Structure 1
Amino acid sequence: MADVGVRPARRADAAAVAEIQVRAWRHGYRELLPAGVLDQVTGGAAVEQWREKWAEAATAPPSPRHRLLVAVASDLVVGFAAHGPAEDADLDPAGTAEVITLLVDPLHTRAGHGSRLLAATADLLREDGCATLVTWVFEDDEVTRTFLGSAGWAPDGTARTLDMGEPVRQIRLHTDISDTGA
């Protein structure tokens, strides 16, 4: 088995993270998002913007609780997760954090990288005093919902509709990461 793990992202990882994001979105969201929107957020100009965004997330996060982690296999970045304090008005950001994104390169799925990223995220946030994690997923994204469900995540009853030229519905999932819930 290859040498695998999770570590904090570095500026040098930004290009790999952006490329993984684009490949994962093109692969996983092609049935979930309007084609024009997907083309816009995964096109050449967008890739450069994502690189800049991820370089900033790695080197100058907005708070100490915002982190970007990467999954590596034999020194190759194969996935990433970003998290920060929960921003939804109905949540307490002191005890609740949000997984903003968690993506694994489609060429490296089903190898445990997503699970390692989730575990590392939960460990860091538990150390920060968080007891609950939330994330938003597309309602029709059965792959992500099944993956997170197998890790103990469930819908919390909150939903939102994004205007992407046509309505795209998301649901919020949550899980308990407290010492008693872990």
Structure 2
Amino acid sequence: MADATVRTAQPDDVAEIARIHRDTWRTAYRDIVPAEVLEAIDVDRTASAWAEAVGHGQVFVAAEGTWTVGFCVAGSAPEEEVARADGSLPEDAATTALLSVLVEPRWARRGHGGRLLATAASHLREAGATRGVAWVPEADKASIGFYGKADWEADGTVRTLDAGGRPLREIRVTGGLSLLLEP
């Protein structure tokens, strides 16, 4: 494997982040999300949202050699993302982070996701975060397994999103931010 790195995303990474977002969803979620929803993901439209997150220093990119292979967005979790099913907030709500990791399937199982998660966790700890949460489609066994390897577990909270008129059930996984990379 060529040199693998993770770094904070820069403005010139935005187009590639938007492309990876589109291509990864179209590949990884083709059996979970309706085709018309996946086809509607527009790189130019999503790039503006990614540019804002990159501008806030909330995105990390993974590279293998000269190829950008994935990214992680990580920042303070809004209250609605950490609330319990009854709407109450846990005691650590103010120090809980929201993360999402995407690695293109063709680059999967090479450690990029783990490096992204560990790097984001380190930055979040330095900023005062104590715990992380992520939302994962319930049918996405690969992502659930990925977070499980980092000792993140489902906390029993679910939500159902509208995916083009079809329900998409997501589970919330949570775990600590003291993640170490194995050699």
What TM-score do you get using the length of structure 1 for normalisation? 0.87
CA contact (8 A) 2:2 2:64 kept: yes
Map of 1:138 onto structure 2? 137
Q: Which amino acid aligns with 1:116?
A: R
CA contact (8 A) 1:130 1:178 kept: no
Q: Which amino acid aligns with 1:138?
A: P
CA contact (8 A) 1:96 1:131 kept: yes
Map of 2:116 onto structure 1? 117
Q: Which amino acid aligns with 1:111?
A: R
Map of 2:126 onto structure 1? 127
Mapped to 1, the partners of 2:137 and 2:36 lie a distance apart of 17
Deviation track 1:90-138 (CA, whole Å, cap 9, x = no partner) reads: 3544210010x21112221111100000000111111112111001000
Instruction: From the superposition, tell whether residues 160 and 56 of structure 1 become closer, same or farther in structure 2 (CA, over 3 Å).
Output: same
Mapped to 2, the partners of 1:166 and 1:76 lie a distance apart of 35
Map of 1:55 onto structure 2? 51
2:139 partner SS: coil
Mapped to 1, the partners of 2:154 and 2:77 lie a distance apart of 16
CA contact (8 A) 1:24 1:105 kept: yes
Is 1:86 the counterpart of 2:83? The answer is no
Structure 2: tracts of 5 or more residues without a match:
84-88
Mapped to 1, the partners of 2:67 and 2:8 lie a distance apart of 14
Once the 2 structures are TM-superposed, how far is the Cα of residue 11 of structure 1 from its aligned partner? Answer: 0.8
CA contact (8 A) 2:14 2:50 kept: yes
Deviation track 1:131-159 (CA, whole Å, cap 9, x = no partner) reads: 11001000111010011111111001111
What TM-score do you get using the length of structure 2 for normalisation? 0.86
Once the 2 structures are TM-superposed, how far is the Cα of residue 75 of structure 1 from its aligned partner? Answer: 3.0
2:173 partner SS: strand
Once the 2 structures are TM-superposed, how far is the Cα of residue 56 of structure 1 from its aligned partner? Answer: 2.4
Deviation >3 Å, runs of 4+: none
Map of 2:154 onto structure 1? 155
CA contact (8 A) 1:94 1:129 kept: no
Is 1:174 the counterpart of 2:174? The answer is yes
Structure 1: tracts of 5 or more residues without a match:
none
More displaced 10-residue stretch of structure 1: 86-95 or 117-126: 86-95
Map of 2:66 onto structure 1? 75
CA contact (8 A) 2:22 2:38 kept: no
Mapped to 2, the partners of 1:53 and 1:15 lie a distance apart of 11
More displaced 10-residue stretch of structure 1: 140-149 or 101-110: 101-110
Count of residue pairs brought into register by the alignment: 169
Instruction: From the superposition, tell whether residues 169 and 159 of structure 1 become closer, same or farther in structure 2 (CA, over 3 Å).
Output: same
Alignment RMSD: 1.6
Once the 2 structures are TM-superposed, how far is the Cα of residue 163 of structure 1 from its aligned partner? Answer: 1.7
CA contact (8 A) 2:152 2:173 kept: yes
